[in-house]
Amino acid sequence: MTMRLVTSMFAALVAIGIALGQPVSARAQQPLRLGFIPVMGAAQVFVADGEGWIKQAGLTLTTSTFESGPNMIQALQSGTLDVYVAGLAPLLVARAKGIDVRIVAATVVEEMGFATSAAFSPQIEGKDPAAAFKAFREKNGRPVKLATQPIGSGPNTALQHWLWEVVKADKADVQIVEMGIDATQRAIATGAVEGGSVREPALSIIRKQNPAIKLIATGKDMFPNFPGVVVAVMGSFADKNPKAVDGLVRSIIRATALLKEHPEQAVKHVGAAFGKGLVPDDILLESLKSPQTQFTSDPRRIEESTRQLQEYQVKIGALQKAEPLEGLFAFDVYNRAAAN
């Protein structure tokens, strides 16, 4: 048999395989540029990738880590990202600026928490927070310093809602200090601030390091059904690559089910992504099972709370005005993926 004949036969077999529908792994993979923030709300992406579901969907991931959602919006605007996996709140700001970005799945709700440093915890735990803040200022001659992410972010919005609407704190008693996620974690852990916004796995990590650090308010306390991390895609990418987006959302739905039903199986994937082998599996498993980590994937669950979130962002000056939410949620994409 000549080499030319062998080559011809191989080409014919490849053509037959294509016609019959060969495995996705044998086809060219669709590149996907994905940005995320290192919190448990992004776990679905790495579980889906670790389980091989992203590849099965015909996708290959290139990931970039960001310290906050607002920072990631700049990357979306510049065209260097296709997919956004971070808090919903900054997307409202992005859409107000004319950026076409569409939410195709949720990942978690009520993920925000408020934790206090070891030194300040005894002064506030079990007490009225507003009174504790006032007492601190009167004793120390300065307001309490609370760390959170930049204005327009989910942590910032949830913290302000809790301070001013729930506990009715006096603004003279509180100084909000804006910083990135890692910096906030370090500031609370070292006592550089009296408290701040915290999400998993940071909460479990810093409390393991120092049990005197206390969770004073849960996500439900701060803003019920608060829309946390979501999966959103650029409109231009979604229009050109609908099958890729469908495949991504199907993978997210599968990963959500695994995280809820078998978190111990997901730990290795989460650890590889967030812990880099440095965070023990027991701490990661604790953060996956934490009441602060309420996994979901259906964006319809957060539609109404998104309206409430936008109204509050207008109130605190993160947005100039409330914009129509039509087009923000791509429910048809989620419904199609869920049906399959």
The DSSP secondary structure of 44-98, one letter per residue, reads: HHHHHHHTTHHHHTTEEEEEEE-S-HHHHHHHHHHT--SEEEEESHHHHHHHHTT
Assign 279 a pLDDT band (cuts: 50, 70, 90). Answer: confident
- At 30 the pLDDT is 86
More confident residue, 313 or 68: 313
Q: Domain map of the chain by residue range?
A: 29-109+226-339, 113-222
Same fold, 29-109+226-339 and 113-222: yes
Query: Looking at domain 113-222, which CATH architecture does it have?
Result: 3-Layer(aba) Sandwich (3.40)
**Structure pTM?**
0.84
Distance CA 30, CA 9 (A): 28
The residue among 169, 164, 159 whose CA lies nearest residue 128 is 169
Which CATH fold would you assign to the domain 29-109+226-339?
Answer: D-Maltodextrin-Binding Protein; domain 2 (3.40.190)
* pLDDT exceeds 70 at position 217: yes
Q: 230 with 299: CB under 8 angstroms?
A: yes
Q: 216 with 289: CB under 8 angstroms?
A: no
Is residue 38 reached through a cis peptide bond, with omega within 30 degrees of 0 on the bond before it?
no
Mean pLDDT throughout 97-123? 95
Mean pLDDT throughout 78-102? 91
Mean pLDDT throughout 61-81? 87
The residue among 113, 249, 89 whose CA lies nearest residue 188 is 113
Amino acid letter, residue 229? V
DSSP 211: T
Q: To 5 degrees, how large is the angle CA 148–CA 41–CA 75?
A: 70
Instruction: Identify any residues that bridge with 271 across adjacent strands, giving them in sequence order.
Output: none
Mean pLDDT throughout 226-237? 94
- Interval 2-56: pLDDT, tens: 434 333 333 333 333 433 344 444 456 889 999 998 889 999 999 999 999 999 9
- At 45 the pLDDT is 96
